[in-house]
Amino acid sequence: MRSEEELRGFFAGELREHVEAWRRLPRIRPPNGIDLVALGVAVLFAFATQRSEALWLGAGYLVLRVMYDIRRVQSAFKQEVLSRVFEFALPGVQYQPHSHIGAEHVRRSGLFRESWNDDSGEDYVAGRHGSTDFWFSELTLAKEKKDQRSVVFQGLFFIADFHKSFRGRTYLLPDVAERAFGALGRAAQALRIDGTELVELEDPDFEKRFVCSSTDPLEARYLLSTSMLQRILRIAERSRGALRVSFVDECLYLALPSGDLFQAPFLGGSLDEAALLGFVRELRSVLGLVEELGLNTRIWSKPAPAEARPIR
């Protein structure tokens, strides 16, 4: 990751023309023929029928049009400016503002036992930090049924190549049953239908927060060393919602409830050096997970991959 000094130099030099080009973009475009026709029809209809609903439809059209323009400008910022900032800050990084981690990876992680049928998101970032390949994006999972939509998860979905080899599946999910029903809840948790066993870990604080299950309890303890338990607990304590972690296919999957990751500006004047550095800090704070979890410590037999690979 580049230093702030290098980043400042980059903002003042190479990036400048791209920022200026983005600033020159028209914010709210003047009405075109389609807009005039749509508004004209709404006004005429309102006069002809003496009903005000048509005017409301016209106003709604205007609001949608403004929202579209805001989205267009923000999207251009991410595409033209932010992607260059990230590429400079962490060479080799891949940033796709309109993509997100695919549903097949979310399902493979096994992090969500609740049913969901709609996935959306943005700000997909993939690359390598130190010796660790990572992939993350904002993600929203929801269940849509008839007219109802309930959000199952909203936040950061993070995947990283784990530094130890393993074959089984291990899950750390919020301990809802034990919190609600005590010993009975814990007894119920032990009845598992997903081919895993309940693993009781030594740390009582950790046990209060998570329920650990694994296809191989010994391997689970190999992955969750006492220091790893502390690290995960620290992240969970900072999290604004229930943290979920799994270890599947030699990767660590982490779902961290959060707000918007990279909020793009709309007005050109609000974009200065501090704002640009803020985006890099946000990227750095996500990648801090790699360091915090000690994933760059490669002292086991599993070698670091030769080159960053696309997500499997």
Nearer to other proteins, 148 or 301 (CB): 301
Contact status: 163 vs other proteins (CB under 8 A)? no
- Looking up tokens 């028209």 gives 26
Burial group, residue 169, by CB count within 10 angstroms (0-12, 13-18, 19+): buried
Nearer to other proteins, 227 or 285 (CB): 227
Least distance from other proteins to the Cβ atom of residue 176, Å: 17
Contact status: 155 vs other proteins (CB under 8 A)? no
Residues in contact with other proteins, total (CB under 8 A)?
A: 21
Residues in the chain: 312
Nearer to other proteins, 144 or 200 (CB): 200
Which amino acid type is present at position 15?
L
134 and 290 Cβ atoms separated by less than 8 Å: yes
Contact status: 301 vs other proteins (CB under 8 A)? yes
Burial group, residue 23, by CB count within 10 angstroms (0-12, 13-18, 19+): middle
Q: Which of 67, 190, 194, 259 binds other proteins (CB under 8 A)?
A: 190
Q: Chain centroid to CA 163: how far? A: 22
- CB-CB neighbours of 259 under 10 Å: 10
62 and 30 Cβ atoms separated by less than 8 Å: no
**Residues 200-229 vs other proteins: string with x where CB under 8 A?**
x-x--------------xxxxxx--x----
Least distance from other proteins to the Cβ atom of residue 101, Å: 29
Nearer to other proteins, 83 or 189 (CB): 189
- Percentages helix, strand, coil for the chain (3-state, rounded to 5) are 45, 20, 35
**Residues 166-185 vs other proteins: string with x where CB under 8 A?**
-----------------xx-
Least distance from other proteins to the Cβ atom of residue 208, Å: 17
SS3 call for 160: strand
Nearer to other proteins, 130 or 265 (CB): 130
Q: What is the largest CA-CA distance in the chain?
A: 79
Q: Which of 297, 305, 309, 312 binds other proteins (CB under 8 A)?
A: 297
Nearer to other proteins, 128 or 164 (CB): 164
Q: Which of 128, 164, 169, 244 binds other proteins (CB under 8 A)?
A: 164
Least distance from other proteins to the Cβ atom of residue 4, Å: 25
Nearer to other proteins, 183 or 267 (CB): 183
Angle at 194 between CA 302 and CA 229, to 5 degrees: 45
Closest C-alpha among 261, 166, 255, 260 to residue 214: 166
Write phi, then psi, for 310 (nearest 5 degrees). Answer: -70, 155
Which residues sit at the interface with other proteins, rule CB under 8 A?
164, 183-184, 186-187, 190, 198-200, 202, 217-222, 225, 297, 299-301
